[in-house]
Amino acid sequence: MSDVFNLPELPYSYNALEPHIDAQTMEIHHSKHHAGYVSKLNAAIAEHTELHDKTIEEILTDVSMVPETVMQAVINNGGGHANHSMFWELMSAGGGGNPVGRAGNMIETQFGSFDGFKEDFKKEALGRFGSGWTWLVADESEKLSIMSTANQDSPLMQSLMPILGLDVWEHAYYLKHQNKRDAYVDTWWNVVNWEKVSELLDAALA
Ligand code: MN
């Protein structure tokens, strides 16, 4: 039987985000960490065929469909799969600059300015103790919020739609930045794919 979930290919080469994110970090992050989440997710759901035709987003949005015995494994590894799949798409070699489209307008309106937004987002990223993610999420009332989650927990589990996410696990930055998470956050803005953020927001609010 083929695998239910598969590791997506990166939409660019491992060195495409240099110098902001180094090639070695990208390669280990994608081919070891993300691949590990995918294989453990497949193992967790192998016997639960009722989940095999669901997307990982559908499962995380309603985790009560997952049998208790494998629920935490699906939250951890399914979250890891969903979060990383999105993360790769949210970066590009030609990224950076200012937010565009509806996302750009909503960030300006709801956070006062892009600089103010970046400041709040960084504060949230540095405030996350241990491993986790920092997010910009949209809710059904079209309100944007900055939040963070522990481990690989997805905002989808709280019915929030992630449109931007930053991996703040040490594996995402340790080789280049060691303990300096703030330097990683600062440089990451240079690779953010705002076109993709805008696309995700349009889809979330459609
Ligand atoms: Mn990661």
What does each of the 206 residues of the chain score in pLDDT, given as a tens digit? 579 999 999 999 999 999 999 999 999 999 999 999 999 999 999 999 999 999 999 999 999 999 999 999 999 999 999 999 999 999 999 999 999 999 999 999 999 999 999 999 999 999 999 999 999 999 989 999 999 999 999 999 999 999 999 999 999 999 999 999 999 999 999 999 999 999 999 999 98
Report how far ligand 1's centroid is from the alpha carbon of 167 (Å): 6
Report how far ligand 1's centroid is from the alpha carbon of 14 (Å): 15
User: How far is it, in rounded angstroms, from Cα 61 to Cα 137?
Assistant: 14
Report how far ligand 1's centroid is from the alpha carbon of 1 (Å): 28
Task: Indicate the SS3 state at residue 192.
Answer: strand
- CB-CB contact of 36 with 79 (8 Å): no
Report how far ligand 1's centroid is from the alpha carbon of 112 (Å): 30
pTM of the model: 0.97
Report how far ligand 1's centroid is from the alpha carbon of 109 (Å): 31
Report how far ligand 1's centroid is from the alpha carbon of 62 (Å): 23
Report how far ligand 1's centroid is from the alpha carbon of 171 (Å): 6
Domains and CATH numbers, the chain: 23-89 (1.10.287.990), 101-205 (3.55.40.20)
pLDDT of residue 2: 75
Report how far ligand 1's centroid is from the alpha carbon of 86 (Å): 11
3-state secondary structure 118-172: HHHHHHHHHHCCCCEEEEEEECCCCCEEEEEEECCCCHHHHCCEEEEEEECCHHH
Q: HSE on the CB side for 1, CA within 13 Å?
A: 9
pLDDT tens profile 142-195: 999 999 999 999 999 999 999 999 999 999 999 999 999 999 999 999 999 999
- CB-CB contact of 137 with 147 (8 Å): yes
- CB-CB contact of 162 with 121 (8 Å): no
* 109 conformational bin, left if phi > 0, alpha if psi -120 to 50, beta if neither: alpha
Sheet holding 132-138, edge to edge: 144-150, 132-138, 161-167
Report how far ligand 1's centroid is from the alpha carbon of 45 (Å): 21
Report how far ligand 1's centroid is from the alpha carbon of 206 (Å): 29
Report how far ligand 1's centroid is from the alpha carbon of 98 (Å): 25
Q: Which helix (H) or strand (E) segment is 205 a member of?
A: helix 194-205
Report how far ligand 1's centroid is from the alpha carbon of 129 (Å): 15
Report how far ligand 1's centroid is from the alpha carbon of 143 (Å): 27
pLDDT of residue 1: 53
